[in-house]
Chains A and B, each alone.
Chain A
Amino acid sequence: AQSVSQHNHHVILSEAASLELGCNYSYGGTVNLFWYVQYPGQHLQLLLKYFSGDPLVKGIKGFEAEFIKSKFSFNLRKPSVQWSDTAEYFCAVNAGAGNTPLVFGKGTRLSVIA
């Protein structure tokens, strides 16, 4: 069975600091990888996704993620965070074939302070 681990439960950063949120997954086959964000009071939104090709994926709002197959990792990065990035971030994976269920990590809460 697939599983996803997010290493940090709560991260607190000052504005302009760099961000890296860890995500590791457990699955032996082809996977699709996602980062979703949940801003306070809002629904889950897709930040970025990886299906194949260039392992460095760029998403919305200046976020990017790198797929490292040998490490089963898909870490999320942003060079300079803003107060508006305060949110819950979820890493998710599904098997590569078809509309398979998403398996989510427990999420990382990011708090950006001025």
Chain B
Amino acid sequence: DAGVTQSPTHLIKTRGQQVTLRCSPKSGHDTVSWYQQALGQGPQFIFQYYEEEERQRGNFPDRFSGHQFPNYSSELNVNALLLGDSALYLCASSSQSGGRGSTDTQYFGPGTRLTVL
């Protein structure tokens, strides 16, 4: 049973560029959430996708956008990169179906390490 996968593993960009990160959820999951983990901090929620729509959003600017595809995979796009966007970007998947015990557990991928120079 494949877990959550993310690509690429590492990425180096310069200020002002744009980046796209990808995530495939765990088999059987239909919901994808994205988090940003800055060095020495806990992950911070960016947004969540379900049924190809953004359902919830954290306190991140519009430069951060996303997409979910019919196969439940997801992309995170960041435009006009800033130095402060350097972080580990985590994707978590979960399921909306089933009981409360299954819907509220999010499983994380290995992350994409983004460095902005």
Contact = CB atoms under 8 A, between A and B. Distances in A.
* Most chain B Cβ neighbours within 10 Å, of A46, A99, A107: A99
B45 A101 contact: yes
Contacts of B103: 98-99
B40 A99 contact: no
Interface footprint category on B: 20 to 34
Contacts of A51: 100-101, 104
B56 A101 contact: yes
Interface in A82-110: 90, 92, 94, 96, 98-107
A91 to B, nearest CB: 8
Interface in B54-86: 55-56, 58
Interface footprint category on A: 20 to 34
B31 to A, nearest CB: 5
B45 A103 contact: yes
B96 A99 contact: yes
A102 B107 contact: no
Interface of A: 4, 32, 34, 36, 42-46, 49, 51, 90, 92, 94, 96, 98-107
Contacts of A43: 90, 108-111
A99 B108 contact: no
B107 A101 contact: no
Interface string B22-42: 000000000101010000111
B34 to A, nearest CB: 10
A112 to B, nearest CB: 20
Contacts of B108: 36, 43-45
